Amino acid sequence: MARITAGVTTSHVPAIAATIDLGKQQQPYWAPIFKGFEFSRKWMAEHKPDVAILIYNDHASAFDATIFPTFAIGCADEFESADEGWGRRPVPVVKGNSDFACHIAQSLILSEFDMTVVNRMDVDHGLTVPLNLLFGDLKPEDQWPCEVIPFPINVVQYPPPTGKRCFALGRALRTAVESYPEDLRVVVFGTGGMSHQLQGTRAGLINREWDTKFLDGLTKDPIGLTKIPHLEYVREAGSEGIELVMWLAMRGALNDNVKEVYRFYHVPCSNTALGHIILENQP
**Which residues are part of the catalytic machinery?**
125, 196
Q: What is the dihedral of CA 113, 67, 237, 212, to 10 degrees?
A: 50
Burial of 19 (0-12, 13-18, 19+ CB in 10 A): buried
- The residue type of 135 is F
Cis omega before residue 194 (within 30°)?
Answer: yes
* Whole-number CA gyration radius for the chain: 17
Containing 181, the helix (H) or strand (E) segment is none
- Cβ neighbours of residue 61 under 8 Å, at least 6 residues apart? 82, 83, 84, 122, 123, 124
Containing 102, the helix (H) or strand (E) segment is helix 98-110
Q: What is the dihedral of CA 153, 61, 77, 181, to 10 degrees?
A: 0
Output the DSSP codes for 213-271.
HHHHHHHH-HHHHTT--HHHHHHHH-GGGGGGHHHHHHHHTS-SSEEEEEEEEEEEETT
- DSSP bridge pairs for 10: 191, 276
Distance CA 230, CA 251 (A): 18
